Amino acid sequence: MSDVAVSVEDLGKRYRIGGLRSSYGTLRETVTSAVTSPLRRLRNPGSSTGHVADFWALRDVSFDVIEGQAVGIIGRNGAGKSTLLKILSRITEPTKGHIHIRGRVGSLLEVGTGFHAELTGRENIYMNGAILGMPRTEIRRKFDEIVAFSEIGQFLDTPVKRYSSGMYVRLAFAVAAHLEPEILIVDEVLSVGDLGFQRKCLGKMQDVAGEGRTVLFVSHNLGAVLELCSRAIVLEGGSVVEDASSAVAVNRYMSNLQVSNGVFDLADPALRQKSPRENAFRWSRLTVRDSLDHATEEVGLREPFHLVIEAVALRRVADLELNLSVYSGSGVNMFNSFQTVSGLPSEYEEGPVVFRVAFDPNLFAPGQYTVGLWATGPTTADHIRVAAQFSVSLVDASGGSLPTNYAGIILYPCVWTLDREPPDPALSPSGAPEDDDGGPRGGGL
């Protein structure tokens, strides 16, 4: 297809692990080894001097990316995400399979990728542009915009070996995004930058996708994936286990991360956006509990349930605003609940804090839902876009159910009544009594 920017067919990458290559030995050691090796193999027939095992970092991976699409790639550590991006960036060769790429690729896979430590920031901008195949006139035209975006103008003529990791990322992303590659590949490195710069980079990637260019984005920040990408691919054990809308893919990924039945550990820093503030108040755990107060991942239709949300205040915190958001399986923000609505205090003493949030039994239709948590204050910005997930079953406790073709995400508790008497024929269709001349009665002017 002419509009396919990246096509991956039956891709596989194998590494040989477990066997260490021996150093060079003397002639005497070589002769001794040749004589004794047959005897060792007889005593230990299962042993081998070669590699212990083959490890497939990627296996049978296939997908297409349309031009102008922003696609997230998510998965656990070791799932094969970075290996896939290195192959797409032509850094690593695949063991099997084929890749077809239409357009120039700009990659940001790790801090300082493509930089020469002894060169200045200015010189590295021109060198990276040349690597991307950009003519010098085009680099010069974009130069001021790159410097302004990176916010390191005063250090532009300093060798990059003296840059901090954050400065590296600022300049590297600015170069990769502004030199107009048709395909932009970004790995988890944006987590090095502060929150403001992360937001700035997400906005730039949205602009890049809006201009018809393609973005492949690997991140553990699921909120960023949901915000930037309309589609996401979930890798597990080197294989694709989900390729769907970003909301569906995140739900699949979250279901694999669940620690126990309905209990979600929120201590992992990968779940939350990094913040320049120290987070004196942190979310620690969330448990979904049914009407019998049992932890569960699925609640019954029309069944009341509640969330037990645990947090830790590292010291006394004041002026704290708490927010809980519920999203449908398609990523629609159904509603938000703020702490001011329920009358909770705005300050908390040092130590553990536990909240219970109750939900009406006639609220959720069958399906998958995710929960987001926000805690914001002068010393806290603890944001977890996907803190937990739960599902609502198709059958309620009494055995009743909805039609299988039911569409919707809210069960609104309308009141139905049955009128035994037929409507009064003296009433007009609007319900207003009529005058003798057929006009409606009323006190209008």
Q: Which range among 34-48, 173-187, 229-243, 355-369 shows the weakest confidence by mean pLDDT? A: 34-48
Whether 47 has a pLDDT exceeding 70, the answer reads: no
Res. 200 pLDDT band, cuts 50 70 90: confident
CATH architecture of 263-396: Distorted Sandwich (2.70)
Nearest alpha carbon to residue 255 among 388, 373, 371, 383: 388
Between 144 and 32, where is the model more confident? 144
Instruction: Output the average pLDDT for the chain.
Output: 79
Tokens standing for residue 242: 């989900």
Whether 89 has a pLDDT exceeding 60, the answer reads: yes
Between 40 and 361, where is the model more confident? 361
Whether 196 has a pLDDT exceeding 80, the answer reads: no
Mean pLDDT on 6-14: 93
CB atoms within 10 A of CB 278: 10
437 residue type, one letter: D
Mean pLDDT on 119-128: 89
Cα gap 67→197, rounded to integer Å: 26
Whether 233 has a pLDDT exceeding 90, the answer reads: yes
Mean pLDDT on 306-315: 92
Percent of the chain topping pLDDT 70 = 75
Q: 387-442 pLDDT, tens per residue?
A: 888 888 766 655 555 555 556 677 777 788 787 777 676 665 554 554 545 444 44
Residues of the chain within CATH 3.40.50.300 domain(s) are 55-257
CATH of 55-257, picked from 3.40.50.920, 3.30.110.30, 3.40.50.300, 3.40.50.970, is 3.40.50.300
CA dihedral over 386, 388, 393, 398, signed as positive or negative = negative
Between 135 and 404, where is the model more confident? 135
Tokens standing for residue 299: 């609640």
Res. 117 pLDDT band, cuts 50 70 90: confident
Mean pLDDT on 253-266: 72
pTM: 0.58
pLDDT at 398: 56
CB atoms within 10 A of CB 422: 6
Whether 328 has a pLDDT exceeding 70, the answer reads: yes
Nearest alpha carbon to residue 125 among 141, 110, 103: 141
Residues of the chain within CATH 2.70.50.60 domain(s) are 263-396
